[in-house]
A and B are shown apart, each in its own frame.
Chain A
Amino acid sequence: MADLKLIKTSTLRDLVEETEHRLDELREELERREDTERHHEIDRLDEHMKHAELSLTSIRDFISEMLADMRNKKAS
């Protein structure tokens, strides 16, 4: 970008306005995509409900991961 000191004040003002407008557009698009992703996850609620139940498998997996973690830390 050209040296900022050389840009006219009015041009600078326009650039700031344009950038702010662009930022708003980017934020809107980001929010729209994030909301779409959330709606998609809610559509999978039945599947999530299965993973939201207590299971001995997940406790067992956690304990084995925790022990592996401790062994790695001891080794290193």
Chain B
Amino acid sequence: MAETNIAAPGTTEEKQNWIQWLAVAGLVYLLICAVGMIGGGFKAAAGDQAKELFAFASNPFAGLVVGTVATALIQSSSTVTSIIVGLVAGGLPVEVAVPMVMGANIGTSITNTIVSLGHVREKSEFKRAFSAATVHDFFNLLSVVVFLPLEIAFGLLEGLGKMLAAPFYGGGSASMSGLNFIKAATAPVVDTAKGALLSLGDQIGGILLIVFGIGLIFLSIAYIGKLLKKLMVGKAKEIMHTAIGKGPVSGIFSGTLVTVLVQSSSTTTSLMVPLAGSGAFGLKQIYPFTLGANIGTCITALLAATAVTGNGEAALQIAFIHLTYNVLGVLLIFGLPFLRYLPVKAAEWLGATASENKMAALAYILCVFFIIPGVCLGITSLV
């Protein structure tokens, strides 16, 4: 029978599991409260000036860079997208947030790339591990190359996100805003924090509330990830076993499910690195799991959008944009034969290059995640 972390009734292990599950529930509750605090803090601090405050990011490339660098530094796309949801609820324009969400996808792929550096001692192992990590980077970069111009030209994702969010807000009998018990449940904590910090003044209090909310999101996501890794490893094994030999679509679904279970795309994609390093999994087997991880991680932003104060519809819209972007990315890039294996070919080339010259690996990480984004940010701020 698969290991599912369910022990005999009344045992210490079962009690420990229950405590850990309660802790997860509590941390999820805190996460949602934190997003509400960020929204409230931003609204208080920025007032009607939200658009002006983020004017520097109104250039979509700047927004992309902000999302990339912030995520690369924080090492969690879930944290950054939750923060973005909170900011949107507080007044950040959705069109400014869209490229940031795309950037978060790129930034999060630094984690598994750094993990792959641990395989450096054995050349062929490092080649496999580095390729497995960077296939995620190349897919996300290709996704941006395809969708950012479409977004700039047609507002494709914004439109789709709005369409998906609309039924949940003020849409006649389909509206669920009256039944938002999550909002009601988180209101006491959010209102208490608001009351305490906004007494210091709207601007200072608002900024403190944002900082506090960000800290709380960071901690809750980090601990949720740690706990779920322990609790769900058995289920994750089960899901991955069923995907063996079943083809890429099964791999994508498995990657999605495992990521939803552990609430972290970095965990799933980083897990692919030692599996590839062992030689048992080729890049073509790893690739679909990685794509699934991109989709599975969207659940966090959707969760965060459930109980924001302020512009809830916009918050849900950006959460749906995140989901739509990742689903469409997989459908388009993996669906089209001439695009499907471009990230794989690029990753194989880079893995081979980096295994021969380790400096190339370091140069790649610094350039893609920091230097090029930094230079672009500098240029866009001058323009």
Given contacts A38-B244, A52-B271, A62-B120, contact A45 B233 (CB under 8 A): yes
A side interface size, CB within 8 A: 29
Indicate which residue in B75, B111, B117, B271 contacts A45 across the interface (CB closer than 8 Å).
B271
CB-defined interface of A53-73 with B at 8 Å, one 1/0 digit per residue? 111011101110110011000
A52 close to B280 (CB less than 8 A):
no
Q: Does chain B have a CB within 8 A of A41?
A: yes
B side interface size, CB within 8 A: 32
Q: How far is the CB of A12 from chain B (nearest CB, A)?
A: 35
A54 close to B233 (CB less than 8 A):
no
Q: Does chain A have a CB within 8 A of B80?
A: no
A69 close to B358 (CB less than 8 A):
yes
CB-defined interface of B333-364 with A at 8 Å, one 1/0 digit per residue? 00000000000000000000000011101100
Q: Does chain A have a CB within 8 A of B270?
A: yes
Q: Give Cα A66–Cα B354 distance, bound, in whole angstroms.
A: 10
Q: How far is the CB of B107 from chain A (nearest CB, A)?
A: 14
A42 close to B359 (CB less than 8 A):
no
**Residues 18 to 36 of chain A near chain B (Cβ within 8 Å):** 31, 34-35
B118 close to A62 (CB less than 8 A):
yes
CB-defined interface of B209-240 with A at 8 Å, one 1/0 digit per residue? 00000000000000000000100010011001
B118 close to A51 (CB less than 8 A):
yes
Nearest A residue to B362 by beta-carbon distance? A66
Contacting residues, chain A, for B114 (C-beta < 8 A): 54, 58-59
CB-defined interface of B264-288 with A at 8 Å, one 1/0 digit per residue? 0001001101110010110001000
Q: Give Cα A35–Cα B247 distance, bound, in whole angstroms.
A: 12
Q: Does chain B have a CB within 8 A of A7?
A: no
Q: Does chain A have a CB within 8 A of B245?
A: yes
A61 close to B359 (CB less than 8 A):
no
Indicate which residue in B241, B270, B275, B280 contacts A53 across the interface (CB closer than 8 Å).
B270
Q: Does chain B have a CB within 8 A of A3?
A: no
Q: Give Cα A54–Cα B75 distance, bound, in whole angstroms.
A: 10
Contacting residues, chain A, for B244 (C-beta < 8 A): 35, 38-39, 42
Indicate which residue in A43, A53, A55, A61 contacts B121 across the interface (CB closer than 8 Å).
A61
Q: Does chain B have a CB within 8 A of A17?
A: no
A51 close to B274 (CB less than 8 A):
yes
Q: How far is the CB of B258 from chain A (nearest CB, A)?
A: 10
Contacting residues, chain A, for B361 (C-beta < 8 A): 62, 66
Q: Give Cα A31–Cα B285 distance, bound, in whole angstroms.
A: 13
Indicate which residue in A54, A58, A62 contacts B111 across the interface (CB closer than 8 Å).
A54
Q: Does chain B have a CB within 8 A of A40?
A: yes
Contacting residues, chain A, for B115 (C-beta < 8 A): 51-54, 58
Contacting residues, chain B, for A55 (C-beta < 8 A): 118
B75 close to A66 (CB less than 8 A):
no
Q: Does chain B have a CB within 8 A of A13?
A: no
Contacting residues, chain B, for A43 (C-beta < 8 A): 237
Contacting residues, chain A, for B240 (C-beta < 8 A): 42, 45
Q: Give Cα A30–Cα B112 distance, bound, in whole angstroms.
A: 30
Q: Does chain B have a CB within 8 A of A14?
A: no
Contacting residues, chain A, for B229 (C-beta < 8 A): 49
A-B contacts, 21 listed (Cβ < 8 Å): A31-B245, A38-B280, A41-B275, A45-B233, A45-B271, A48-B271, A48-B274, A49-B271, A52-B274, A53-B270, A54-B111, A58-B115, A58-B120, A59-B114, A62-B117, A62-B120, A62-B362, A65-B121, A65-B358, A66-B359, A66-B362
Interface residues of B (CB under 8 A from A): 75, 111-112, 114-115, 117-118, 120-121, 229, 233, 236-237, 240-241, 244-245, 267, 270-271, 273-275, 278, 280-281, 285, 357-359, 361-362
